[in-house]
Structure 1
Amino acid sequence: MKTQELFNVLEQNKDKSLLFEYAPNKLVGANYHITEVKHVSIDSVDCGAQTDAWKETIIQLWESPNELDKTEYMSVYKAMAILKKVGKMKPYVFDAEVKFEYSNVTFNTAQLFVNDFEIRNNDLIIKLAIEKTDCKAKSICGVPEDKELVAANDEPCCSPDGNCC
């Protein structure tokens, strides 16, 4: 989901509570805070020596240990106020992919992409998902598109005598 699309969804649902589902049927606690918004520029070179560049908006969610008993979720309206204040200080790139950075005691820190959203009663639930790492230079490295797992004794896609950097 692009940053503008997220803002549109928030704008259309400002009277609701804002919940985040970080894994199937697992919600970020009601004690969460938006602790940071990152405007990230990525300039990369993949294993096939191809360059790429893109921008991301990364919104960090943190669960406060001082509010473990909290049951009322942040309102969409309040989240929008935080995000708008950030936008006045550091303008958004609205066509940048938006991700949410999150962790808890049982879930390692990850940057999660927005997979979907759902309206349930008076809640806007943003459904997050993990994006798997991938070889972006499959055709250059000779990796078949449908191959997912590589045994430990198999050649890596970027072997020393391969085509990669």
Structure 2
Amino acid sequence: MKLSEIKKILETVQTVRFKLENGATVPDHFHVTEVGVVSKHFIDCGGTVRKENMANFQLWDANDYEHRLKPAKLRNIIALSEKVLDMQDLDIEVEYQAGTIGKYDLGFDGSDFVLLDKRTACLANDSCGMPKKSIQLPESEKPLCAPDGNCC
């Protein structure tokens, strides 16, 4: 999800709730302790230099049981971050501590923001020596039409 998307959603919802992809919920009394830009400058295993910029939100369970973050307050925090940090319309990454600090992509299911599990992947499959995999689908999942489109 990009910053522009969360801002549009925050204009329509009455409450700001987060949950994990597995259904566990972030306590209602969470705080957003940081909104910022995280830059990553790295080299992949194939030797390609890469740069990524992400908008970063950090959620914190503060044991402040009466606290509730309102949509307008989060919109204001985002607007201030955009102004002060010259933040662009970046993809959002959320940090949340559940055992240890986890990093999540952000989704929305129509009522709640969803912390989506992030996965690692090789960015240089062609040059790092990983064998290309061929996936065989079970008969029940094979398409009825051939890839060349001769069935329709």
TM range (shorter): 0.7 to 0.9
Name the counterpart of 1:103: 97
Name the counterpart of 1:162: none
Q: Percent identical across equivalent pairs?
A: 24
- Residue 80 of structure 2 is aligned to residue 85 of structure 1: yes
- Distance apart, 1:118 and its partner CA: 2.3
Moved over 4 A (4+): none
Name the counterpart of 1:133: 120
Q: How do 1:9-24 residues align onto structure 2 when only pairs under 5 Å count?
A: 9-11=9-11, 13=12, 15-24=13-22
Number of residue equivalences: 134
Tell which structure's C-alpha radius of gyration is larger. 2
Q: What TM-score does the superposition give when structure 1 sets the normalisation length? A: 0.72
1:102-136 alpha-carbon deviations (Å, 9 max, x no partner): 013xx32111001x3123xxxx3111112111221
SS at match of 2:83: helix
1:7-52 alpha-carbon deviations (Å, 9 max, x no partner): 22223x1x51011112321111011001011212222100110111
Task: Tell me: CA distance 1:64–1:141, structure 2 relative to 1, closer, same or farther (3 Å).
Answer: same
Q: What TM-score does the superposition give when structure 2 sets the normalisation length? A: 0.78
Q: How do 1:1-165 residues align onto structure 2 when only pairs under 5 Å count?
A: 1-11=1-11, 13=12, 15-67=13-65, 70=66, 73-94=68-89, 96-104=90-98, 107-114=99-106, 116-119=107-110, 124-146=111-133
Partner Cα distance (1:63, 1:145) in 2 = 43
- Which residues of structure 2 form unaligned runs of 5+? 135-152
Kept in 1, the 8 Å contact 2:104–2:118? The answer is yes
What root-mean-square deviation, in Å, do the aligned CA atoms of Structure 1 and Structure 2 show?
2.0
Task: Tell me: CA distance 1:65–1:146, structure 2 relative to 1, closer, same or farther (3 Å).
Answer: farther
Partner Cα distance (1:18, 1:66) in 2 = 16
Kept in 2, the 8 Å contact 1:19–1:73? The answer is no
- Which residues of structure 1 form unaligned runs of 5+? 148-165
